[in-house]
Amino acid sequence: MAEYRTHMKIIGDILATTRDDLQDEDGATVTYLIRKANISHSRISRILKTLVSQGLLERNGSQGSNKYKISQNGREFLQAYYSFTNFADNFGLSI
Amino acid sequence: MEFLLENILNLIGFLVGLAIGIMSLIGFRNTGSPTLFRLTLAFFSISAGFFVIWAGYMVEDFVIKSGNIERWIQTVGIVIQTVGYFFIAFSHSIKSFFPKSNYFRSVGFIPLFLVSSVQLEHIFRSVSFILLVYGAIETMLSYFENKNKGAISVSVGLAFLALGEFLGWYSFMFPDSLLYPASMIIKIAGLIALFIPVSKVPLTKIKFDEGLEDDELDDKLK
């Protein structure tokens, strides 16, 4: 059975990919993130827009294609996300 | 003896609830997670409930000196604690039912109430018992899924609180027995078990994010 992922978990997966699993130094393409985070193009577009506007991701436009890389704020957010995922796990919950 | 145990129990309950509530609030401020928001409400309510009863005992001890705490103060404290237990059970019900069932999404969570006709306090004790048992079972089930050892401690803590509530509720049938002091000792053990895994969460680099305004948090919750 497929595992249910909360919105927060999807954001965590996207940020983790842009931190740990980059294609090159410029960042990850949308196609790469779709494959890694396993979500639709329309949904990831909305999420990426939000993450960039909140300063958690940096967008690098080069040769007509956007690439995404985690920012310092994004790293701090991801660290907090992992800590509090563990905290919620203790209560048998997911954030 | 009973009076001293009541004071210790309510003071520990207040402090443990407050500590977990603050930790949940920091988590909510950092991540915007609705689960952490519900845990914040739950543990601040539990903390406030214990505080009300503790303050009642303190006022009785140092000001009124009648030898017995006002019944309505104890009832108010228990009602506030029950609200906290409800939010813990509610979080589990959302996790268990809402992602999978449109029916539960539409009707929400309706807890089963064990109605007692004796006193309001006993009704809320029985509701707390049901909510705590539900929370303990769900937490233990989640341990079997993710094998997080902290979940065992929280589950045991909630189960002890439930047992303490049950014995506290049952003791009104045997007022002079050891049931009530035993219920308080069990509840103290439950609170300590609840706090053990939470105390191990590393908070060294986590801070309130000043840049996250309310509207941004709302966006995250969508």
Q: Give the pLDDT confidence of B146-188 residue by residue, as tens digits.
A: 888 899 999 999 999 999 988 888 887 777 788 888 998 999 9
B148 touches chain A (CB under 8 A): yes
B91 touches chain A (CB under 8 A): yes
Per residue in B71-119, pLDDT tens? Answer: 788 889 999 999 999 999 998 887 766 555 444 444 444 444 444 444 6
B139 touches chain A (CB under 8 A): yes
* ipTM of this complex: 0.79
**B177 φ, ψ to 5°?**
-85, 180
Chain A nearest-CA residue for B202:
A83
Paired with A57 in beta bridges are: A70
A2 touches chain B (CB under 8 A): no
Distance from CA of A48 to the nearest CA of B (A): 12
In whole numbers, what is the pLDDT of chain B averaged over residues? 81
Please work out, in degrees rounded to the nearest 5, the angle formed at the alpha carbon of residue A15 by the alpha carbons of A14 and A18. 90
Q: Where are the beta strands (DSSP E) in chain A?
A: 28-29, 57-62, 65-70
Sketch out chain A's domains with CATH numbers: 7-87 (1.10.10.10)
